[in-house]
């Protein structure tokens, strides 16, 4: 603690306040940084959710293009040629929107699985033009083209699946999982549409395609069941409404035609009719998808806005608290140091200046410094009274010394033995100014002086340097002495006998 001996009180107070201020600032900084990170992650999640919804729209268009390509290849180009070209233009517009959103995200972390998936999607989209050329040239089979489109759609849907692991907020994760299940169910319905479009166009289906068709039906039911578990009540009601009605129920008859066919050929079903009917079901699932996507986007936007509000609120609260603490600390420290300086200045003026003990300190607080000021005032008042007493005593001593000095004034030498005439003084015990009835008493030989006669006031009844004999005593101005005939041992000091 020797370090603090030469530090002023103000600096000590400031140093003592700096530690809690730094701790509070660090805690507030951590809270602000945490909220800032949360706001940043929510903002990124909002952008990724928007990208995922755009990917869902692109998947819907790719599903239609996949089904049209299957019809075109199954019928050897006789059907769905013009519709396929129009669908490709619609798909290109969705691809352009998706790439715009992808570029808005910037360059992400290459080790993140979501960004890795986006890289794979970009590679597939770059090879889509070559796949279309092969379809136009009839250089690829329907199963190969369907598989390529299915891989691309799976990667796009995988972006939504990756988002479920980005956020830790339960409701957001649940909504994204429900959205992912619905996308998977709709994708399986699109694969079924493409598969049977090719089978009905060729009027037959092989064993491998048949097994896949059966598995697609079961997978669709499983994904729809998962969606109903994760979705809200309103979303479940909307799904039930969209999948009800004759437009969806008529598809069951076409499915049973394929399932119950023993030869697995000769179905006699127009592939375009199947494509249109299945497209109605997929479009209705798209309605549910858009509703769920809007709710997910609104939920993520709410999280983002809430994180930003929390960031601003915490920052303002931290700044206000820090400002109040600093203001109170500075006020208390300044008041304390100012009063201490006033006390020190008053003591310095008393010690080094003219010693004005009439000065007093103002006592405005009832704390330790106020008590110090009150005790200082009491000390100054006591010192002032003591000095006044000393001054009065000195004056009394001075006056006494003056009187003693006047009484001990030396007598001038007598010029001759003849008595000098002097007007007889008027003694207090005489009745007549000319003759006293009470004569001074001669002192005995043993005591020499029986009773000294009273002193006569100076300047009355005598002249300067003069005196008058009365008996064997001589009265002079302000003193008396014996006659020169008396014993010389009892002369007054500094006085000479007459000749």
pLDDT digit string, tens, across residues 140-189: 888 888 888 988 888 888 887 777 776 667 888 888 889 889 989 988 99
Query: What average pLDDT does the chain have?
Result: 76
- Measure the CA–CA gap between 207 and 196, rounded to whole angstroms: 13
Average pLDDT on 430-437 reads 48
Maximum Cα interatomic distance, the chain, rounded to a whole number of Å: 191
Q: Token pair for residue 143?
A: 């199963």
CB contact at 8 A, 470 and 420: no
Contacts 24+ apart (CB under 8 A), 315-323: 315/32, 315/35, 318/25, 318/28, 318/29, 318/31, 318/32, 321/24, 321/28, 322/21, 322/24, 322/25, 322/28
- Measure the CA–CA gap between 96 and 99, rounded to whole angstroms: 5
Q: What is the pLDDT of residue 3?
A: 63
The DSSP output letter for 439 is P
pLDDT digit string, tens, across residues 316-343: 887 888 788 788 877 877 777 787 777 7
CB contact at 8 A, 95 and 58: yes
Residues in the chain: 499
pLDDT digit string, tens, across residues 81-128: 888 899 999 999 999 998 888 888 766 555 666 677 777 888 888 888
% of the chain beyond a pLDDT of 90: 10
């Amino acid at each position: 603690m020797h370090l603090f001996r030469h530090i002023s009180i103000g600096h000590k107070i400031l140093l003592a306040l700096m530690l809690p201020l730094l701790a509070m600032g660090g805690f507030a900084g951590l809270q602000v940084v945490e909220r800032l990170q949360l706001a940043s992650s929510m903002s990124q999640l909002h952008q990724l959710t928007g990208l995922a919804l755009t990917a869902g729209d692109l998947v819907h268009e790719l599903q239609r293009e996949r089904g049209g390509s299957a019809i075109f290849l199954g019928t050897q180009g006789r059907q769905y040629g013009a519709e396929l070209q129009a669908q490709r233009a619609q798909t290109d517009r969705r691809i352009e929107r998706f790439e715009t959103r992808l570029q808005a995200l910037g360059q992400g972390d290459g080790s993140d699985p979501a960004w890795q998936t986006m890289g794979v999607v970009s590679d597939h989209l770059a090879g889509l033009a070559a796949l279309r050329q092969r379809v136009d040239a009839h250089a690829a089979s329907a199963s190969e083209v369907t598989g390529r489109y299915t891989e691309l759609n799976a990667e796009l849907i995988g972006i939504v699946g990756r988002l479920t692991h980005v956020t830790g907020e339960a409701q957001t994760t649940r909504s994204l999982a429900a959205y992912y299940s619905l996308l998977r169910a709709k994708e399986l319905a699109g694969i079924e549409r493409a598969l049977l479009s090719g089978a009905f166009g060729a009027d037959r289906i092989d064993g491998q395609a048949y097994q896949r068709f059966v598995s697609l039906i079961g997978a669709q039911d499983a994904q729809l069941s998962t969606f109903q578990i994760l979705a809200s009540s309103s979303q479940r009601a909307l799904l039930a409404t969209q999948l009800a009605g004759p437009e969806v129920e008529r598809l069951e008859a076409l499915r049973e035609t394929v399932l119950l066919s023993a030869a697995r050929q000769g179905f006699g079903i127009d592939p375009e009719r199947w494509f249109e009917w299945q497209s109605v079901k997929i479009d209705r699932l798209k309605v549910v998808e858009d509703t769920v996507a809007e709710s997910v986007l609104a939920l993520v936007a709410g999280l983002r806005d809430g994180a930003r509000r929390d960031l601003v609120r915490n920052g303002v609260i931290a700044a206000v608290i820090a400002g109040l603490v600093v203001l109170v600390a500075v006020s208390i420290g300044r008041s304390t140091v100012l009063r201490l300086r006033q006390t020190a200045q008053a003591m310095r003026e008393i010690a080094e200046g003219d010693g004005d003990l009439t000065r007093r300190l103002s006592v405005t607080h009832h704390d330790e410094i106020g008590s110090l000021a009150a005790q200082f005032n009491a000390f100054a008042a006591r010192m002032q009274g003591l000095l006044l007493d000393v001054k009065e005593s000195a004056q009394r001593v001075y006056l006494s010394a003056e009187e003693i000095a006047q009484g001990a004034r030396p007598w001038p030498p007598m010029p001759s033995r003849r008595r000098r005439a002097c007007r007889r003084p008027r003694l207090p015990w005489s009745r007549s100014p000319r003759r006293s009835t009470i004569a001074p008493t001669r002192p005995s030989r043993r005591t020499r002086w029986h009773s000294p006669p009273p002193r006569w006031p100076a300047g009355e009844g005598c002249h300067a340097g003069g005196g008058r004999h009365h008996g064997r005593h001589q009265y002079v101005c302000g003193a008396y002495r014996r006659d020169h005939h008396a014993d010389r041992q009892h002369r007054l000091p500094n006085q000479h006998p007459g000749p």
